[in-house]
Structure 1
Amino acid sequence: MARAQGARAQMALAFETTYGTPPASGFTRMPFASTTLGAEQPLLNSELLGYGRDPLAPIKDAVTADGDVIVPIDAAGFGFWLKAAFGQPATTGTGPWTHEFRSGAWTLPSLSIETVMPEVPRYAMYSGCVLDQLSWQVQRSGLLTATVRLVAQGETVGTTSAAGTPAELELKRFGHFNGAITRNGAALGNVVSVDITYANNLDRIETIRSDGRIDGADPSIAALTGSIEVRFADATLVTQAVNGDPCALEFGYGLPSGESFTFTVHAVYLPRPRIEISGPQGVQAKFDWQAARDSVVGRMCTATLVNDVDVY
């Protein structure tokens, strides 16, 4: 008897034309490290009396379908997740192409995602997937991955694939050593680590339906937050925090072959931190920053991906 193994698991996705309806074709195989994407339906205990001490049968509650996907930040596949987070990009060039994803879109595209465990076999199609949150960490070493949090409408499980033969992408991963951080156009030094979280703050439309699923997930006021930890070498960031002025932070990754990913936060506000001397080692300061809409650029952030993919 074959048993499911994570090493053989696969994932494919495609953007939907109609929310909650998986397309017949156009799926792309996606690299991923792990996923908790799934559907669950809890049971409600019976509250009825008069049948003795043993309880009556439980009742099924509404279906909840959501979860996280850990994905590599790469030159090609990451563009699908950026489109899910920000909407359709503005694409320029003739190869390589430059895809500019901008925050502030009123509507977001939905995805159909199929996860595959071929040994069982189990082919789970999650339709109506909308990206709720995208986060990653900037650090000196380790694997560069992002966490994608999704809200789905529902799950359909079969024994054969509904995605057909997905298209393949060439995997070109960015690494932490490819990264650089600038503040207002100048290199920002003494940075130990940075956490970045972009949230669409989805509002689930929980209408009454016979199948127990949601009717959709609408984006509300977006949020871009995080933390930046630095070695305390100068008062640049502390002075900015005290004055209450915003700055522009840019996080960039590049490959020798020409592919690049740049994430620009146009207006970052820093809180005044507590500077602690905890011992004889170096003193570090942590800023829990927030971003807001920049009045000049007209948006909160811009993600730019340069690769050999002509369209997303």
Structure 2
Amino acid sequence: MARAQGARAQMALAYETVYGTPPVTGFRLMPFARTTLGSEQPLLESELLGYGRDPLAPIKDAVTADGEVVIPIDVEAFGFWLKAAFGQPVTSGTTPKTHTFQSGNWTLPSMAIETAMPEVPRFAMYSGCVLDQLTWQMQRSGLLTATARLVAQGEAIAAATAAGTPAALGLQRFGHFNGTVKRNGSSLGNVVSAEITYSNNLDRIETIRGDGRIDGADPAMAALSGRIEVRFSDTALITQAIDGTPCELEFNYSLGANASFTFTAHAVYLPRPRIEIAGPQGVQATFDWMAAKATSPARMCTAVLINTLAGY
């Protein structure tokens, strides 16, 4: 009997035309490190009395389908997750292509995602997947990955794939070594680490249905926040926090002219942090920042992915 192994697992993704209806074609093979995407249905303990000390059979509760996918931040495949987070990009240029994603869209695309364990065999198709949150960290070393939190409508299990033969993408990963942080267009020095979290704050439409699934997941007010940890060397960030004025933070990864990813938060507000002296080592300050809609451009953030892919 074959046993499932993560090394043989695969993930295929395609955008849906109709929410909750997986397309027949158009699937792409997605690189991923791990996933918790799945469907669960808890049991409700019987509350009835008068049948003795032994409880009656439990009752099934509503079905919940959601989870996280840990993905590499790479040159091509990451654009599919950016589209899920922000909506359809504006693509320009010939070679390379510039894909510009902007916050503030009222509608988000839904996806069909199939996770495959072919040795069992088990092919789980998750329909109506909408991206709730996208987060990643910047640091000096290590593997650069992002975590996508998804809300799905349901799960369908089959013994054969429904994704056909997914088209593979060229995998070219960014690394922490390729990352830079800028503040108001100038390099921000002494940054030890940074964290970026973009949330769509999805509202699950939990209507009464015979199959126990949700009717949809609508985006509510978006949120962009994060954290930067810096070696305390000057008072520029402290002064900004005290004054309450915003700045622009730019997080960039580059592998050359044809491969780069730039995420810009246009109006970032910094809190006034506690400056602690913990010992003889260097003093560090941590800023838990929040972003808001800027005056110009009139949006909260912009993500620009440059590659040779025709479009998303």
If the TM-score is normalised by the length of the shorter chain, which range does it land in? over 0.9
Cα distance per residue 1:184-224 (max 9 Å; x no partner): 00010000000100000000000000000000000000000
Q: Using the TM superposition, give the Cα deviation of residue 225 of structure 1 relative to its aligned residue in structure 2, in angstroms.
A: 0.5
Q: Using the TM superposition, give the Cα deviation of residue 52 of structure 1 relative to its aligned residue in structure 2, in angstroms.
A: 1.1
Cα distance per residue 1:204-257 (max 9 Å; x no partner): 000000000000000000000011100000001000000000000001101136
Aligned to 1:100, what secondary structure does the other structure show?
Answer: strand
Residue aligning to 1:124: 124
Q: Using the TM superposition, give the Cα deviation of residue 258 of structure 1 relative to its aligned residue in structure 2, in angstroms.
A: 2.3
Asked whether 1:212 is paired with 2:201, we answer no
**Distance (whole Å) between structure 1 residues aligned to residue 119 and residue 55 of structure 2:** 38
Spell out the pairing of 1:1-312 with structure 2 (5 A cutoff). Answer: 1-256=1-256, 258-312=258-312
- Coordinate RMSD, CA, aligned: 0.6
**Distance (whole Å) between structure 1 residues aligned to residue 7 and residue 181 of structure 2:** 35
Note the residue ranges of structure 2 that are not aligned, 5 or more in a row: none
**Distance (whole Å) between structure 1 residues aligned to residue 221 and residue 256 of structure 2:** 38
**Distance (whole Å) between structure 1 residues aligned to residue 96 and residue 25 of structure 2:** 26
Aligned to 2:167, what secondary structure does the other structure show?
Answer: coil
CA contact (8 A) 1:263 1:304 kept: yes
Note the residue ranges of structure 1 that are not aligned, 5 or more in a row: none
**Distance (whole Å) between structure 2 residues aligned to residue 218 and residue 310 of structure 1:** 29
Q: Using the TM superposition, give the Cα deviation of residue 17 of structure 1 relative to its aligned residue in structure 2, in angstroms.
A: 0.1
**Distance (whole Å) between structure 1 residues aligned to residue 238 and residue 49 of structure 2:** 64
**Distance (whole Å) between structure 2 residues aligned to residue 107 and residue 65 of structure 1:** 20
CA contact (8 A) 1:70 1:145 kept: yes
Identity of aligned residues (%): 74
Query: So what's the TM-score if we normalise by structure 2?
Result: 0.99
More deviation, 257-266/68-77: 257-266
**Distance (whole Å) between structure 1 residues aligned to residue 188 and residue 23 of structure 2:** 45
Cα distance per residue 1:92-143 (max 9 Å; x no partner): 0112110000000000000000000011000000000000000000111000
Report the count of equivalent residues: 312
Query: So what's the TM-score if we normalise by structure 1?
Result: 0.99
Runs of 4+ in 1 over 4 A off after TM superposition: none
CA contact (8 A) 1:75 1:173 kept: yes
**Distance (whole Å) between structure 1 residues aligned to residue 51 and residue 233 of structure 2:** 73
Aligned to 1:239, what secondary structure does the other structure show?
Answer: helix
CA contact (8 A) 1:252 1:260 kept: yes
CA contact (8 A) 1:95 1:310 kept: no
CA contact (8 A) 1:197 1:225 kept: yes
Amino acid at match of 1:133: Q
CA contact (8 A) 2:258 2:308 kept: no
Amino acid at match of 1:156: A
Amino acid at match of 1:181: V
More deviation, 52-61/254-263: 254-263
**Distance (whole Å) between structure 2 residues aligned to residue 13 and residue 135 of structure 1:** 19
CA contact (8 A) 2:264 2:302 kept: yes
CA contact (8 A) 2:250 2:264 kept: yes
Q: Using the TM superposition, give the Cα deviation of residue 296 of structure 1 relative to its aligned residue in structure 2, in angstroms.
A: 1.4
